[in-house]
Structure 1
Amino acid sequence: MMNISGISNKSLIGKILRWPLKLIPQTTVLPILQGRLKGKRWITGSSQHGCWLGSYEYDKQILFEQTIREGSIVFDLGAHTGFYTLLASTLVGAKGKVFAFEPMPTNIKYLKQHIQLNSISNVTVIESAVSDTTGIDYFEFNSSSFQGQLSSKGTLEVKTVNLDNLIFNGEIPNPNYIKIDVEGAEMKVFDGAKSMLMNAHPTIFLATHSHELHKQCIDFLTSLGYTIKAIGNSKIEESEEIIAVYK
Structure 2
Amino acid sequence: MNRHDQTLALLEQREDIISTLDVAGIGLQFITNALFPYQRVCSLLVSEPETISWLQSAPAGSQLWDVGANMGLYSIYAAAVCHLQVRAFEPEAGNFALLNRNIMLNDLGGAITSYCCGLSDHSGLTTLYKHLDFESSAINSVGVELDAHLRPHKAIHQQGVAVFSGDDLITHHHIPPPAYIKIDVDGIEHLIVNGMSDLLMNSCQSLLVELNTELPEHQHAIQRITEAGLQISEELTAMTTIKSGYWKGLVNLIAHRNPITLDQIREQVKTTIETDKTLAAYQQMLADNRAAYGHPERVTVNYRKHR
Q: TM-score, normalised by structure 1?
A: 0.79
Q: What is the alpha-carbon distance in structure 2 between the residues aligned to residue 50 and residue 165 of structure 1?
A: 32
1:109 corresponds in structure 2 to 97
Q: Verify: 1:86 aligned to 2:76, yes or no.
A: yes
Alpha-carbon spacing, 1:169–1:110, altered in 2? closer, same or farther (3 Å) = same
The structural deviation recorded for 1:236 is: 9.5
2:88 corresponds in structure 1 to 100
What does residue range 93-172 of structure 1 map to in structure 2 within 5 Å? 93=83, 96-120=84-108, 121-143=110-132, 145-153=137-145, 155-172=158-175
Alpha-carbon spacing, 1:76–1:232, altered in 2? closer, same or farther (3 Å) = farther
Flag as ranges the 4+ runs of structure 1 deviating above 4 A. Answer: 235-239
- Contact 2:127/2:161, CA 8 A, preserved across alignment: yes
Give the share of equivalent positions with the same residue, in percent. 25
Alpha-carbon spacing, 1:191–1:56, altered in 2? closer, same or farther (3 Å) = same
The structural deviation recorded for 1:189 is: 0.9
Q: Verify: 1:240 aligned to 2:251, yes or no.
A: yes
1:3 corresponds in structure 2 to none
**CA RMSD of superposed structures (Å):** 2.6
Alpha-carbon spacing, 1:132–1:29, altered in 2? closer, same or farther (3 Å) = same
The structural deviation recorded for 1:53 is: 5.2
Alpha-carbon spacing, 1:142–1:37, altered in 2? closer, same or farther (3 Å) = farther
Alpha-carbon spacing, 1:58–1:196, altered in 2? closer, same or farther (3 Å) = closer
Q: Verify: 1:228 aligned to 2:228, yes or no.
A: no
Of 181-190 and 234-243, the range deviating more from structure 2: 234-243
The structural deviation recorded for 1:26 is: 9.9
Gapped regions of structure 1 (runs ≥ 5): 1-24
Q: What is the alpha-carbon distance in structure 2 between the residues aligned to residue 59 and residue 112 of structure 1?
A: 25
Q: Which amino acid aligns with 2:94?
A: T
Alpha-carbon spacing, 1:233–1:106, altered in 2? closer, same or farther (3 Å) = same
The structural deviation recorded for 1:54 is: 4.2
Q: What is the alpha-carbon distance in structure 1 between the residues aligned to residue 144 and residue 202 of structure 2?
A: 32
Of 128-137 and 220-229, the range deviating more from structure 2: 220-229
- Contact 2:241/2:251, CA 8 A, preserved across alignment: no
Q: Deviations over 1:101-124 (max 9, x none)?
A: 000011001100000101112111
Q: Which amino acid aligns with 2:255?
A: A
Q: What is the alpha-carbon distance in structure 1 between the residues aligned to residue 107 and residue 241 of structure 2?
A: 40
Alpha-carbon spacing, 1:232–1:37, altered in 2? closer, same or farther (3 Å) = farther
Gapped regions of structure 2 (runs ≥ 5): 1-13, 146-154, 244-248, 259-307
Q: What is the alpha-carbon distance in structure 2 between the residues aligned to residue 222 and residue 110 of structure 1?
A: 35
1:218 corresponds in structure 2 to 222
Q: What is the alpha-carbon distance in structure 1 between the residues aligned to residue 18 and residue 54 of structure 2?
A: 24
Of 201-210 and 120-129, the range deviating more from structure 2: 201-210
Q: Which amino acid aligns with 1:132?
A: D
The structural deviation recorded for 1:58 is: 3.7
Q: TM-score, normalised by structure 2?
A: 0.65
What does residue range 10-29 of structure 1 map to in structure 2 within 5 Å? 27-29=16-18
The structural deviation recorded for 1:132 is: 1.3
The structural deviation recorded for 1:177 is: 0.5
Alpha-carbon spacing, 1:30–1:231, altered in 2? closer, same or farther (3 Å) = farther
State how many pairs are aligned.
220
Q: Which amino acid aligns with 1:243?
A: I
The SS at the match of 1:200 is coil
Which of the pair has the greater relative contact order for Cα pairs under 8 Å at 6+ separation? 2
The structural deviation recorded for 1:76 is: 0.2
Q: Which amino acid aligns with 1:241?
A: N
The SS at the match of 1:201 is coil
The SS at the match of 1:29 is strand
